[in-house]
Amino acid sequence: MHCWVLVALFFGICASDGQQEKQKVGPPSLSRGWGDNITWVKSYEEGLSKMKNGILSPELKKAFIAAKSIQTIAKENFILLNLVEETSDKNMAPDGYYVPRILFVDPSMTVRTDITGKYSNRHYTYEPGDMAQLLNNMKKAKVLLHNEL
């Protein structure tokens, strides 16, 4: 993830050192000649924010829908909540506010911090290639629910 941003920064530096032709008056394009039809951002932080806020969501959604075993266990054993707007409830963001995140909440309304994804910096993130991990965590939650009640 950082590699792509750094590459884009490198190209931006190279482009600014190249030809310096006089251009017509107007705000400079963020593309600096690398393609105005591409979405460019002003800073590394803005790029990370855009990445965290939705780049993976459509692909994750497709992977989630395509995983029939996840669809079955979800339908039979879980109540799913898809928040449209971020909540201010800090319990719903045990390791920070980022999107997307998948949390398991037990009947006592406690977020199960023992059921996480594989990423150490975003414990509740699942990427499209992580559907097996998500399915295993759903099975784990199901077992814990039956054992603890």
Q: Is 10 exposed, middle or buried (0-12, 13-18, 19+ CB in 10 A)?
A: exposed
The alpha carbon of residue 139 and the mean position of all alpha carbons in its chain are separated, in whole angstroms, by 22
The whole-model pTM stands at: 0.62
- Would you state the pLDDT for residue 100? 83
Q: Which SS3 state, helix, strand or coil, does residue 3 take?
A: helix
The DSSP-derived string for 17-67 is HS------SSPPPTTTTS-TTS---SSHHHHHHHIIIIIHHHHHHHHHHH-
pLDDT tens for residues 29-58? 777 777 676 667 777 666 666 655 555 578
- Would you state the pLDDT for residue 30? 75
Cβ proximity of 102 and 126 under 8 Å = yes
- Would you state the pLDDT for residue 45? 63
Cα torsion through 85, 89, 94, 99, rounded to 10: 0
Pick the CATH number of 2-14+28-148 from 3.40.50.2300, 3.30.70.260, 3.40.50.300, 3.40.30.10: 3.40.30.10
List the domain boundaries for the chain: 2-14+28-148
